[in-house]
């Protein structure tokens, strides 16, 4: 049991981050804090993929002259990293759009707090 | 079960399309009332002639068939002008001509607004009715059935008063709910047997084992078509819908909607489920009981009505169940009687409604208590009314007597003498609520109706025609429209025994 | 040669058009709308050509960059994706034609960004449809999502807040989907859809696979507005600009439904989703709940667009139910309903846009004059669409319900049949209420002033013609539904390995 917990610590960590992000999005009242929580959510998935790709005693997937291409198992899996580069870009774009929307909200309602916002929207 | 010979022909399709083709013409001539009305009359005449041209073949046992397109894999949108279809279509299209003439008089007499909408919807309704008559399978039937519901809605709410709108809502609630039940039933039947074509004598025979579930299927079907057929307890939309203009009530209650409902019941009993199913599952008993209850109850409620149209509505509910009874008894004479009553009641009821409308327009009265002495002011109208009432009561030599006679014969053939008693009692009840009207109108005196002022010719001529025709049909049932022969042909094809 | 490139041409056209709109539009604003129409029309023609080619000669596969799958990303045009791509492009084309006047009147200074982002939205949607790679689907999902957040946010009143909420929820959905892909990748080592389905079929079910499947379905379900993840939809559709909701509503959720169908029917092995995990069952139950919820909530609305939004939740439920019932008839019903609902909702939202243009709002209890007289053709189109939503034959809506009922009977799922039929009646309640308000004089406004009798004042042709074309297609596709089933849908079932 203990080895199970300890052996999978990376996955426990990412799960905790994911739940943290979800909690923040739901429970926090400030819209910017919700956004930050969203970023945490996305980061947790990114961590998950990176963990997926890592291996013990393996090196970065940059062609090393001492290993050459003859033994590919000594490189960590580059695919999750490339996928996550895309995912990071998506995350940044989403944050950008979210900020633009937040600016719109602020201009219209002069607040970024959810409860005050609900009042002002009526 | 008979094999019906079929031949391909476009005539059924043209008959359905005749009035649909008139719809854009009516819409375009909205500013020229006389032109607009001409289109309606032309379409009605064309439709009638097209349907009439199918009669000779039908009497020889041949049906015109046309397959239009596939609606669902394995089920086609097809029309088949068999004897029953032509029978119904003939009545519907013939009476439409008269109703159109009457409508023109009526809406102009009241200077109603939205006349274009009125005539357009009438045209679509009749298309749908002929479509129902000629439908070759349940899915085609369903398409036209729902089309009828939607097309009659604007007619029911025509006056646009809050009363009319709430009557329209009630009408839609009842008919659309029935529609979905019917849809489920059709789907279930298709799933069960893979066949939803109308075949004389039904699609169930001894090769299919029947279980209790099939009884539920039958009941669902009856609920689905029973709303339009106004069997108790699905009838309450009909009196409420009386708020519509009288020609609409005449059409709804003599020709299109309610007759489509009983047409549907007879199709389902005779052409889908068939005598074998009905006897095996005991559903014929159930339907007989429902019909008898409706006949008696509706007549009793009619007694209490003061509004003439509401009284006629309850009378309709009662008379419709005669037809259901004829189908439920499943004997040759009863089936023939029921079919004849489908025709006879149409003529008689339309006469009565025409009279009610004439009284409304000319004397501005709706309630029976205000109609004392009106017989002296409007003698022709009230004579026609008397003829119609006598026909419904079943007094010879009017046509109502013939259909009741055959129903009685059928009851004895099916060894159900109690039904005979029901028929006699309801005849007495009919007399009970019609005679006071006739008496009051001719023999009571009232200062209101002293001066002679008969209805306008556009109103009078149709009602005289239907009254006289009812009388003539009583003497010569086969005159012109060969109704009697067709009824016996249909009955023979379903039940399988010839009657003289 | 060109037929091999079709799968990539369809989304790529939109990308190029988006860039061209920004460049040429900044130079002369006149170019923006024609460019958008041109790009969409080209994509539509290409996808139509692709559909006919696929139906006659089989699936087309395009390898991006020449890399062979499963190493490379491939775009696949099989009967299902070709059909959905054609629907998306066709509906978008007509909506964009309609949008010229609408956008000019509602968003005068934002014409260029609106069309550019609309092109990006279509890029994302068509990309989801043609791609054959799971992660590529995520990328396009996010492209379309970001564009839709932007489109929603330029609406009026509460639009930015609605957009922000949509953003948060949409990102949760996409992130779940991404995490789901992660689990699948862990187990299979591949991201190519065809490859994954082979690998999964050969393996045993295990907890990681369960988590992966569930996460992916949950993510897509949120984008699809499957009950109970529908919370973003009413606000987003009500407050978006008219053309925006007309673009989003008919095709946005449908493409997510397509993704769900792709996952559940083609990628995941059928024993997993039917026997080992009750995925289809849960899908059916949630859809049934969505149908009832959407229909009931729609009755309570007083504003047309919000009512249509709740109605959309119900209609997505039909599609989900069709898939969840798990037999061929249910599949046919679901695909047919994707087509029919796209047409119906497009008509309805275009009518809302017409109303917005002519009377400034689409709030039912505030109609000042009889709409039926003022906008007769628009009202006629609305009536046809309403009858189709209720399920009156021979409009298209009836037939998808017919197949769903048959599917339910085949599987003896009586409760679902009852749900479908009851929802038809509920649809009748709220649509006839709108029809009453549109055509009849009787009801005065809420403040009890009388209704004015209006003169005819129909919307311009560029708005009217797309509305009427959609209404006509509803009737056409209803009558000829068997042709669609035989030529387009049956091959989809057969091409499922």
Q: Do C172 and A49 touch (CB under 8 A)?
A: no
Beta bridge partners of C62: C75
Phi, psi of B3 (to 5 degrees): -95, 120
Q: Three-state DSSP class for B373?
A: coil
Q: Which residues of C touch B172 (CB under 8 A)?
A: 428, 432
Query: What does the pLDDT look like over C204-224, one tens digit per residue?
Result: 778 888 888 899 999 999 999
- Pairing between β-strand C60-63 and β-strand B75-81 as defined by DSSP bridges: unpaired
Question: Domain residues for C453?
Answer: 288-497
Diameter of chain B measured on Cα atoms? 71
Among A112-121, C40-49, C72-81, which is the least confidently predicted range? A112-121
- Pairing between β-strand B62-72 and β-strand C74-77 as defined by DSSP bridges: unpaired
Task: Closest CB to A98: pick one of C167, C175, C179.
Answer: C167
Residues 6 or more apart whose Cβ sits within 8 Å of residue B118: B103, B107, B112, B155, B158, B245
Q: Which of B354, B360, B353, B390 is nearest to B374 (CA)?
A: B360
Against chain C, the chains showing at least 3 CB pairs within 8 Å are: A, B
Size of interface B-C (CB pairs under 8 A): 71
Q: Which residues of A touch C175 (CB under 8 A)?
A: 41-42, 45
pLDDT at position B6 is: 76
Q: Which of B124, B107, B123, B108 is nearest to B39 (CA)?
A: B123
How many other C-beta atoms lie within 10 A of the C-beta of residue A18? 21
CA distance B71 to chain C (A): 6
Query: If you ran DSSP here, which 8-state letter would residue B455 be given?
Result: P
Residues 6 or more apart whose Cβ sits within 8 Å of residue A2: none
Q: Do B169 and C405 touch (CB under 8 A)?
A: no
Does the pLDDT value for residue A39 go beyond 80?
Answer: yes
Does the pLDDT value for residue B499 go beyond 50?
Answer: no
Given pLDDT bands bounded at 50, 70 and 90, which one contains residue B448? low
Q: Which residues of C touch A73 (CB under 8 A)?
A: none
Q: Do C171 and A102 touch (CB under 8 A)?
A: no
Pairwise CA distance, residues B189 & B169, whole Å: 30
Q: How far is CA C372 from CA B37, B107, C475, in A?
A: 23, 22, 21
Pairwise CA distance, residues B69 & B77, whole Å: 5
CA distance A3 to chain C (A): 18
Q: Is residue C183 part of a domain?
A: no
pLDDT above 70: percentage of residues in chain B: 94
pLDDT at position B451 is: 64
Residue B280, burial from CB neighbour count under 10 angstroms (0-12, 13-18, 19+): middle
Number of domains within chain C: 1
Q: Three-state DSSP class for A12?
A: helix
Q: Where are the alpha helices (DSSP H) in C275-413?
A: 279-299, 304-325, 328-359, 371-374, 376-390, 396-410
Do residues B342 and B91 make contact, with C-beta atoms less than 8 angstroms apart? yes
Q: Do B142 and C486 touch (CB under 8 A)?
A: no
Residues 6 or more apart whose Cβ sits within 8 Å of residue B252: B152, B155, B156, B241, B244, B258
Does the pLDDT value for residue C337 go beyond 90?
Answer: yes
Does the pLDDT value for residue B2 go beyond 80?
Answer: no
pLDDT at position B83 is: 82
Task: Closest CB to C171: pick one of A80, A94, A117.
Answer: A94
Contact yes or no, C with B (3+ CB pairs under 8 Å)? yes
Q: Is residue C368 part of a domain?
A: yes
Closest residue on chain C to A85 (Cα): C139
Q: Which residues of B touch C406 (CB under 8 A)?
A: 187, 190-191
How many other C-beta atoms lie within 10 A of the C-beta of residue B279? 12
Task: Work out the average pLDDT over B404-417.
Answer: 82
Query: What does the pLDDT look like over C397-434, one tens digit per residue?
Result: 899 999 999 999 888 888 999 999 999 999 999 898 88
Do residues B340 and B470 make contact, with C-beta atoms less than 8 angstroms apart? no
Diameter of chain C measured on Cα atoms? 71
Given pLDDT bands bounded at 50, 70 and 90, which one contains residue C369? low
Closest residue on chain C to B186 (Cα): C406
What number of residues does chain B have?
500
Helix H or strand E encompassing A16: helix A9-27
Pairwise CA distance, residues C223 & C180, whole Å: 15
CA distance C296 to chain B (A): 16
Q: DSSP per residue over C426-487, as a string? A: HHHHHHHHHHHHHH-S-PPPTT-PPPBPPPP-PPPHHHHHHHHHHHHHHHHHHHTHHHHIII
pLDDT at position B500 is: 35
Query: If you ran DSSP here, which 8-state letter would residue C268 be given?
Result: S
Size of interface A-C (CB pairs under 8 A): 67
pLDDT at position A48 is: 92
Q: Do C153 and A104 touch (CB under 8 A)?
A: yes
Does the pLDDT value for residue C497 go beyond 50?
Answer: no
Q: DSSP per residue over B197-235, as a string? A: B--TT-S--TTS---HHHHHHHHHHHHHHHTTTT-TTS-
Query: What does the pLDDT look like over B161-183, one tens digit per residue?
Result: 888 888 888 988 999 999 999 99
Task: Work out the average pLDDT over B147-151.
Answer: 90
Q: Which of C213, C220, C217, C219 is nearest to C186 (CA)?
A: C213
Query: What does the pLDDT look like over C100-113, one tens digit per residue?
Result: 888 888 888 888 89
Q: Say which residue, C27 or C44, is predicted with more confidence.
A: C44
Best B69, B72, B216 member to test C by mutation, with max C CBs in 10 Å, is: B72
Q: Three-state DSSP class for B70?
A: strand
Query: What does the pLDDT look like over B228-257, one tens digit per residue?
Result: 888 888 888 888 888 888 888 887 767 788
Pairwise CA distance, residues B270 & B267, whole Å: 5
pLDDT at position C135 is: 92
Task: Closest CB to B188: pick one of C393, C403, C409.
Answer: C409
Within 45-64 of A, beta carbons closer than 8 Å to C belong to: 45, 48-49, 52
Beta bridge partners of B78: B67
Diameter of chain A measured on Cα atoms? 68
Do residues B318 and B426 make contact, with C-beta atoms less than 8 angstroms apart? yes
Q: Is residue C119 part of a domain?
A: no
The ipTM is 0.93
Do residues C192 and C69 make contact, with C-beta atoms less than 8 angstroms apart? yes
Phi, psi of C230 (to 5 degrees): -100, 0
Beta bridge partners of C74: C63
Q: Is residue C107 part of a domain?
A: no
Do residues B314 and B329 make contact, with C-beta atoms less than 8 angstroms apart? no
Residue A22, burial from CB neighbour count under 10 angstroms (0-12, 13-18, 19+): middle
CA distance C186 to chain A (A): 7
Query: What does the pLDDT look like over C152-174, one tens digit per residue?
Result: 998 887 889 999 999 999 999 99
Q: How far is CA C63 from CA B217, C13, C134, C138, in A?
A: 55, 17, 15, 18
Q: Is residue C402 part of a domain?
A: yes
pTM (two decimals):
0.89
Contact yes or no, C with A (3+ CB pairs under 8 Å)? yes
Do residues B455 and B361 make contact, with C-beta atoms less than 8 angstroms apart? yes
A92 touches chain C (CB under 8 A): no
Pairwise CA distance, residues C192 & C221, whole Å: 21
Beta bridge partners of C131: C75
Task: Work out the average pLDDT over B387-402.
Answer: 83
Pairwise CA distance, residues C155 & B308, whole Å: 57
Pairwise CA distance, residues B189 & B110, whole Å: 48
Phi, psi of B77 (to 5 degrees): -85, 95
Q: Do C163 and A121 touch (CB under 8 A)?
A: no
Pairwise CA distance, residues B262 & A48, whole Å: 69
A4 touches chain C (CB under 8 A): no
Q: Is residue C426 part of a domain?
A: yes
Against chain A, the chains showing at least 3 CB pairs within 8 Å are: C
List residues of C whose CB lies inside 8 A of any A CB.
135, 138-139, 142, 146, 149-150, 153, 158, 160-161, 163-164, 167-168, 171-172, 174-175, 178-179, 182, 185-186
Do residues B156 and B114 make contact, with C-beta atoms less than 8 angstroms apart? no
pLDDT at position C15 is: 93
Q: Three-state DSSP class for B244?
A: coil
Mean pLDDT of chain C: 87
Which segment, A101-115, B90-104, B201-215, B329-343, is predicted with the most confidence on average?
A: A101-115
Do residues B51 and B130 make contact, with C-beta atoms less than 8 angstroms apart? yes
Do residues C199 and C265 make contact, with C-beta atoms less than 8 angstroms apart? no
CA distance C403 to chain B (A): 9
Task: Work out the average pLDDT over B177-203.
Answer: 85
pLDDT above 70: percentage of residues in chain A: 98
Q: Is residue C38 part of a domain?
A: no
Cis check for the bond before B301: say yes or no (omega within 30 of 0): no
Pairwise CA distance, residues C297 & B260, whole Å: 35
Q: What do you get for the CA distance between the two ends of chain C, in Å?
A: 27
Query: What does the pLDDT look like over B6-42, one tens digit per residue?
Result: 777 787 788 788 778 888 887 777 777 778 788 888 8
Q: How far is CA C35 from CA B431, C169, C346, in A?
A: 79, 33, 22
Task: Work out the average pLDDT over A87-99.
Answer: 95
Q: Which residues of C touch A52 (CB under 8 A)?
A: 182, 185-186
* Helical pair B483-495 and B274-281, crossing angle rounded to 10 deg: 60
Query: What does the pLDDT look like over C172-190, one tens digit per residue?
Result: 999 999 999 999 998 888 8
Task: Work out the average pLDDT over C124-150.
Answer: 93
Q: Do C387 and B150 touch (CB under 8 A)?
A: yes
Q: Three-state DSSP class for B8?
A: strand
CA distance A60 to chain C (A): 19
Q: Do C153 and A100 touch (CB under 8 A)?
A: yes
Mean pLDDT of chain B: 82
Pairwise CA distance, residues C147 & C120, whole Å: 6
Q: Do B160 and C440 touch (CB under 8 A)?
A: yes
Best C178, C189, C231, C240 member to test A by mutation, with max A CBs in 10 Å, is: C178
Q: Which of C96, C114, C110 is nearest to C151 (CA)?
A: C114
Contact yes or no, A with B (3+ CB pairs under 8 Å)? no
Pairwise CA distance, residues B423 & B408, whole Å: 7
Q: Which of B343, B323, B346 is nearest to B335 (CA)?
A: B323
How many other C-beta atoms lie within 10 A of the C-beta of residue B411? 25
Q: Is residue C87 part of a domain?
A: no
pLDDT at position C127 is: 94
């Amino acid at each position: 049991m203990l080895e199970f917990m300890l052996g999978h610590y990376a996955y426990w960590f990412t799960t905790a981050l994911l739940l943290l992000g979800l909690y923040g999005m739901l429970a926090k009242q400030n819209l910017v804090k919700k956004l930050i929580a969203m970023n945490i959510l996305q980061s947790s998935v990114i961590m998950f993929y990176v963990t997926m790709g890592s291996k013990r005693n393996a090196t970065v997937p940059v062609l090393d002259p001492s290993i050459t291409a003859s033994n590919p198992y000594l490189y960590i899996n580059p695919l999750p990293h490339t996928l996550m580069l895309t995912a990071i870009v998506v995350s940044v774009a989403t944050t950008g759009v979210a900020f633009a929307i937040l600016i719109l909200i602020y201009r219209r309602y002069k607040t970024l707090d959810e409860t005050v916002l609900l009042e002002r929207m009526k | 079960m008979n094999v019906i010979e079929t031949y391909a022909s476009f005539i059924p399709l043209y008959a359905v399309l005749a009035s649909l083709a008139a719809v854009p013409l009516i819409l375009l001539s909205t500013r020229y009332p006389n032109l607009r009305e001409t289109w309606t009359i032309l379409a009605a005449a064309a439709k009638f002639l097209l349907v009439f041209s199918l009669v000779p073949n039908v009497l020889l046992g041949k049906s015109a068939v046309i397959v239009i397109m596939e609606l669902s894999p394995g089920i086609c949108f097809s029309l088949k002008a068999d004897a029953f279809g032509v029978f119904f279509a003939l009545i519907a299209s013939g009476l439409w001509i008269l109703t159109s003439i009457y409508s023109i008089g009526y809406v102009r007499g009241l200077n109603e607004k939205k006349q274009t909408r009125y005539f357009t919807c009438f045209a679509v309704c009749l298309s749908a009715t002929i479509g129902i008559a000629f439908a070759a399978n349940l899915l085609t039937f369903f398409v036209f059935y729902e089309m009828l519901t939607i097309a009659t809605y604007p007619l029911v709410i025509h006056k646009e008063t809050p009363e009319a709108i709430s009557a329209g809502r009630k009408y839609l609630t009842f008919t659309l709910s029935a529609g979905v039940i019917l849809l489920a039933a059709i789907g279930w039947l298709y799933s069960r047997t893979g066949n939803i074509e109308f075949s004389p004598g039904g699609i169930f025979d001894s090769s299919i084992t029947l279980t209790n579930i099939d009884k539920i299927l039958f009941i669902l079907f009856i609920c689905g078509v029973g709303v339009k057929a106004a069997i108790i307890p699905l009838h309450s939309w009909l009196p409420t819908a009386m708020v519509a203009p009288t020609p609409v009530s005449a059409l709804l209650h003599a020709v299109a909607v309610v007759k489509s409902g009983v047409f549907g019941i007879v199709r389902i009993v005779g052409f889908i489920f068939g005598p074998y199913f009905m006897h095996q599952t005991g559903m014929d008993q159930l339907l007989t009981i429902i019909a008898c209850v409706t006949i008696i109850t509706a007549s009793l409620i009619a007694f209490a009505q003061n509004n003439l149209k509401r009284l006629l509505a309850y009378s309709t509910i009662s008379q419709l169940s005669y037809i259901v009874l004829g189908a439920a008894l499943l004997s040759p004479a009863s089936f023939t009687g029921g079919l004849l009553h489908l025709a006879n009641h149409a003529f008689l009821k339309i006469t009565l409604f025409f009279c009610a409308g004439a009284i409304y327009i000319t004397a501005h009265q709706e309630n029976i208590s205000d109609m004392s002495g009106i017989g002296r002011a409007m003698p022709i109208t009230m004579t026609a009314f008397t003829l119609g009432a006598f026909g419904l009561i079943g007094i010879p030599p009017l046509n109502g007597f013939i259909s009741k006679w055959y129903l009685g014969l059928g009851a004895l053939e099916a060894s159900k003498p109690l039904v005979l008693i029901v028929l006699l009692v309801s005849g007495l009840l009919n007399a009970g609520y019609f005679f006071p009207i006739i008496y009051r109108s001719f023999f009571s005196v009232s200062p209101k109706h002293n001066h002679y002022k008969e209805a306008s010719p556009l109103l009078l001529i149709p009602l005289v025609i239907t009254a006289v025709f009812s009388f003539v049909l009583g003497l010569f049932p086969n005159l012109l429209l060969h109704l009697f022969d067709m009824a016996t042909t249909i009955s023979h094809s379903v039940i399988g025994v010839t009657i003289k | 040669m060109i037929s091999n490139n079709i799968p990539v041409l369809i989304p790529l056209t939109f990308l190029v058009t988006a860039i061209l709109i920004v460049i040429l539009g900044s130079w002369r604003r006149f170019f923006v709308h024609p460019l958008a129409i041109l790009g969409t029309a080209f994509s539509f023609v290409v996808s139509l050509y692709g559909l006919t080619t696929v139906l006659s000669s089989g699936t087309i596969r395009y390898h991006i960059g020449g890399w062979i799958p499963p190493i490379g990303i491939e775009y696949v045009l099989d009967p299902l994706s070709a059909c959905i791509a054609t629907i998306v492009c066709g509906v978008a084309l007509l909506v964009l034609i309609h949008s010229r006047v609408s956008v000019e009147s509602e968003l005068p200074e934002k014409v260029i960004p609106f069309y550019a982002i609309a092109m990006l939205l279509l890029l994302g949607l068509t990309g989801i449809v043609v791609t054959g790679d799971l992660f590529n689907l995520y990328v396009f999902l996010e492209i379309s999502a970001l564009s839709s957040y932007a489109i929603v946010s330029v609406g009026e009143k509460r639009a930015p807040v609605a957009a922000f909420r949509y953003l948060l929820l949409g990102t949760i959905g996409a992130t779940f989907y991404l995490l789901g892909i992660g689990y699948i990748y862990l187990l299979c080592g591949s991201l190519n859809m065809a490859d994954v389905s082979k690998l999964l079929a050969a393996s045993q079910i295990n907890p990681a696979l369960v988590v992966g499947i569930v996460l992916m379905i949950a993510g897509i379900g949120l984008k699809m507005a499957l009950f109970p993840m529908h919370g973003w939809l009413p606000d987003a559709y009500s407050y978006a600009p008219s053309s925006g909701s007309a673009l989003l509503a008919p095709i946005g959720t449908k493409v997510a439904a397509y993704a769900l169908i792709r996952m559940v029917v083609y990628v995941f092995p059928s024993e997993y989703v039917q026997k080992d995990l009750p995925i289809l069952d849960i899908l059916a139950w949630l859809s049934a709940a969505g149908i009832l919820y959407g229909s009931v909530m729609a009755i309570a609305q007083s504003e047309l667009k919000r009512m249509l939004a709740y109605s959309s939740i119900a209609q997505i439920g039909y599609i989900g139910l069709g898939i969840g019932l798990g037999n061929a008839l249910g599949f046919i019903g679901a695909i047919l309903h994707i087509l029919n609902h796209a047409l119906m909702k497009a008509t309805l939202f275009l009518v809302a846009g017409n109303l917005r243009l002519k009377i400034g709002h689409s709030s039912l209890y505030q109609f000042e004059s009889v709409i039926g007289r003022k906008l007769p053709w628009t009202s006629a189109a609305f009536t046809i669409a309403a009858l189709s939503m209720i399920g009156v034959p021979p409009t298209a809506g009836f037939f998808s319900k017919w197949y769903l009922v048959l599917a339910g009977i085949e599987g003896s799922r009586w409760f679902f049949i009852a749900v479908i039929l009851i929802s038809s009646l509920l649809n009748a309640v709220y649509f006839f209420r709108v029809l009453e308000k549109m055509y009849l004089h009787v009801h005065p406004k809420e403040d009890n002033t009388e209704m004015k009798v209006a003169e005819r004042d129909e919307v311009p042709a560029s708005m009217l013609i797309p509305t009427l074309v959609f209404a006509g297609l509803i009737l056409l596709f209803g009558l000829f539904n068997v042709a669609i089933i035989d030529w387009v849908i049956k091959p989809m079932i057969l091409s499922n390995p």
